[in-house]
Amino acid sequence: MTVTTDKKSAEVTPAEDLITLTIDDVEVSVPKGTLVIRAAELIGVEVPRFCDHPLLDPVGACRQCLVDIPDAGNGRGMPKPQASCTLEVMPGMVVKTQVTSPVAEKAQNGNMEFLLINHPLDCPICDKGGECPLQNQAMSHGYAESRFTDVKRTFPKPINISAQVLLDRERCVLCARCTRFSEQIAGDPFIALIERGALQQVGIYENEPFESYFSGNTIQICPVGALTSAAYRFRSRPFDLVSTPSVAEHDACGSAVRVDHRRGTVMRRMAGNDPEVNEEWITDKDRFAFRYGRGEDRLTYPLVRDGDVLRPASWPEALQVAADGLRKAGESVGVLTGGRLTVQDAYGYSKFARAVLGTNNIDFRSRPHTAEEAEFLAHKVAGSAAKPGASPVTYADLESASGVLLVSFEAEEEAGSVFLRLRKAHRKSGLKSWTLAPYLSNGARKHGATLIKTVPGAEAATLNRLPAGVELDADSVILVGERAALSSGTLTAVLELSRSTGARIAWIPRRAGDRGAVEAGCLPNLLPGGRPVSDAAARVDLAGAWGIDEVPALAGRDTDEMLMSAADSELGALVVAGVDPGDLLDPRSALEGLEQVGFVVSIEQRASQVTERADVVLPVALNEERAGSFLTWEGRERPFGVVIKRDNAMTDLRVLAALADLLGKDLGVRSAAEADAELAELGPWDGHVAAAPAIEPVRASVPGTTTVVLATWRLAIDASRAVDNEPALLATGRKPVARLSTATAEAAGISDRVQIETDHGSLELPVELVPEMADGVVWVPTLAPGLGVAEHLAAAAGDVVRIAAVGSDSTGSPSGDSDAAEPAETVSTDDGQGA
């Protein structure tokens, strides 16, 4: 286990600030405040422990790490053995561990015997058996035989403390690791040690279920197997598993994971240890959502349309049909990619579009987006991490920042590891943060954010006139979410705020492949390495590197424009990879557009609404079956290797290379290594940077009595296809509700349930009143089981919708526009420790 350090603590400690003591007759000097157990580790002595964890506050609960202190530094010894995990070093202190002290050894052995009095000793059936600290230390620091002859304490087992986490109470040694993690790290103190004495146990609050996006970490750090996973329990033994390091694919954080597999099947995923990125924590989605490719919808062979039916076909036939269809379409073709692609795959699609199909019609943004966002990404994000002298924002910078401003970004929901760093910085150093939102979410409250009350659509006006008390400087950071694209002028205002204050900007998309897609040039106005399509020198540079005559000079169509062109029969063919129409603003219109395209090639892992409408379906390998890398929101490369080796696994790059060959062109890359080599040779663009967007704020909509502004964002665990085949994980998701201010609900006569309508459709949800919420706003989750804002309303954040109490007639219509919103109101929070 490793502790992360900020910039200040990483500096060399002056000699005068070091404390010298003696441990097991070895003199050692350590910084002031170091715990004895850490000092012992520096000289290679491992003191046994259960409750101690370097990322949790010391508590001294298990008493296993007892050491003898013959001299406390004042010439006097301590009369009894002391817990080394809570004892700070002192000048001249003398410490004797179990290595040199019979007193310490006897104390540790006695405590181990005490811990095992009621322990069931069910190692043969315990999931922790084979990797259990209690099992290991009982052998190394315990007695060979137990002297306890009475009946052991028993409890009914297991009990659910959540849908995903199961508790065997008789195994618990009351180390409090799980409760401390939940309270200190995740900020979800819904579990606690209850009762007293022999009845003490881990419990949950009666009216507060253990709802946490990080609950799986308690299973991993539990030292005795008391907490187990509903999905993994009794599935395998640790010594049966092969472990492979990898990277999580569900968000842009790039969290390190360890994939444990057996006989070609992934059995579980564990958090990897990466101090610079995710430390030792991952979200439950990263931990448990890996079975999405095991259902009956997994594509295992190519399909070719024969009339109204997709029939199985051989690879040569399917590739030939796909090539013939693309050749017939000529340059009237587009490429749509999604967030599942690695950097190498995204580069392959970008090169395939330009060098093979001869078009700039390519876009990775399979979600609501704008031209302003494309200009912002080309100007500020693309190529920024790799340029000489660049200083991209990192996780460490979040901990040392003077302040953090969140714009259209909910850290807990959209980037779990970012949330944990913000909360850590708030707890440890009092980090000040502010969030532009219609109300203070639970996640924002937990990392101590102050609310800048903002109606969706008015973010630009708010940024141009920030309230007093929001102080940004060169050590500050502005975190911008992908939802900022939906509010006209917001990204322009973010750039201006950065210029005026010196604060650095970090764009944090929701999906793992988005940052890499920007670098790879999967945008209609952007080429690989941050080269603007509009720059002739950039096009010549790229054409020379690729060995082609020219790169198309005109900016291409974005996702919406391609689908609109398809609906108007102006697009001859589409290549689609990793796109879920449900993520777009109007899924119904998107599907209609796909049906009107002359020819559709779907390169996908699972059957979907796109494959149903495709003329050729080409299956590709899952992430665990391929090698590649993701780029995190920092711009940090996160490579991963093959976990499950499949013979002749087809990756996106291999499929694209085969299509290029049949079209008479050479893609030049067939593997991740070849794509990396080309990207490295290209390097970042060192010419003129694309122009910054210059979009003025639009007039904000004024809500009425029954017309309100819609606020919405994706939840960390929702009804996305990524959690398919994971019922226990899906059951831990937050229950969907519609949030309204008290005044808005009273004005519309709404109490328990609300109906939300547009001309496209309607939704019905239970109501949760939020007193500090902006008036004239309704918040709903973007996606939940049976609920999709895009599918049912065809609306996005900032749009005007109608609300009514369920059972009454909804009246009113979207109101007219008015002047831009007034300066936002700020609402301070508590210290962020509560849930």
pLDDT in tens, 783-832: 998 889 999 999 999 999 999 998 755 444 444 443 334 444 444 444 43
CA–CA gap between residue 60 and residue 2 (Å, rounded)? 20
Angle at which helices 672-682 and 536-546 cross, to 10°? 140
CA–CA gap between residue 562 and residue 522 (Å, rounded)? 14
Q: Which helix (H) or strand (E) holds 480?
A: strand 477-481
Instruction: Locate all alpha helices (DSSP H) within 597-726, ordered by sequence.
Output: 609-612, 652-662, 672-682
Cβ-based neighbour number of residue 597 at 10 Å: 26
What pLDDT score does 388 carry? 55
Q: Which residues, other chains included, contact 348 with Cβ-Cβ below 8 Å and sequence gap of 6+?
A: 652, 653, 656, 657, 667, 669, 675
SS3 (DSSP) at 625: helix
Cα distances from 426 to residues 5, 527, 634, 798, 833, in angstroms, run: 15, 39, 20, 30, 10
Cβ-based neighbour number of residue 147 at 10 Å: 7
CA 232 to chain centre: 22
CA–CA gap between residue 626 and residue 654 (Å, rounded)? 11
Give the total residue count for the chain.
835
Beta-sheet pairing, 477-481 with 504-508: parallel
What pLDDT score does 147 carry? 87
- Can you tell me which residue has the tokens 């190692």? 123
Cβ–Cβ under 8 Å, residues 667 and 355: yes
Task: Give 165's strand partners.
Answer: 229
Q: For residue 506, which of 428, 585, 418, 447 has the smallest C-alpha distance?
A: 418
What pLDDT score does 157 carry? 85
What pLDDT score does 823 carry? 40
Instruction: Locate all alpha helices (DSSP H) within 252-378, ordered by sequence.
Output: 284-288, 315-329, 343-351, 371-376
Q: What is the DSSP letter of 651?
A: P
Q: Which residues, other chains included, contact 442 with Cβ-Cβ below 8 Å and sequence gap of 6+?
A: 412, 835
CA 104 to chain centre: 44
Q: Which residues, other chains included, contact 102 with Cβ-Cβ below 8 Å and sequence gap of 6+?
A: none
Instruction: Locate all alpha helices (DSSP H) within 601-648, ordered by sequence.
Output: 609-612
Encoded amino acid at 642, one letter: V
158 prior amide bond cis, ω within 30: yes
CA–CA gap between residue 726 and residue 720 (Å, rounded)? 11
Is pTM, for the whole model, over 0.85? yes
Output the six-digit token pair for 509. Answer: 């998309």
Task: Give 166's strand partners.
Answer: 160, 228
Cβ-based neighbour number of residue 262 at 10 Å: 14
Q: Count of H helices and E strands in the chain?
A: 26, 38
- Can you tell me which residue has the tokens 């969030």? 435
Cβ-based neighbour number of residue 587 at 10 Å: 18
CA–CA gap between residue 641 and residue 761 (Å, rounded)? 45
SS3 (DSSP) at 691: coil
101-106-107 Cα angle (round to 5)? 100
Q: Which residues, other chains included, contact 306 with Cβ-Cβ below 8 Å and sequence gap of 6+?
A: none
Output the six-digit token pair for 473. Answer: 């400087």
Cβ–Cβ under 8 Å, residues 658 and 319: yes
Q: What is the DSSP letter of 92?
A: T
CA–CA gap between residue 44 and residue 82 (Å, rounded)? 20
Angle at which helices 587-596 and 559-567 cross, to 10°? 60
Cβ–Cβ under 8 Å, residues 165 and 288: no
Q: Which residues, other chains included, contact 359 with Cβ-Cβ below 8 Å and sequence gap of 6+?
A: 331, 333, 334, 335, 353, 552, 556
CA–CA gap between residue 575 and residue 334 (Å, rounded)? 6
Q: Which helix (H) or strand (E) holds 443?
A: helix 442-446
Q: Which helix (H) or strand (E) holds 791?
A: helix 789-793
What pLDDT score does 205 carry? 73
Angle at which helices 343-351 and 672-682 cross, to 10°? 70
CA–CA gap between residue 33 and residue 29 (Å, rounded)? 12
- Can you tell me which residue has the tokens 């944990």? 420
303-581-480 Cα angle (round to 5)? 130
What residues of the chain score a pLDDT lower than 50?
A: 6-10, 810-835
Task: Give 201's strand partners.
Answer: 194
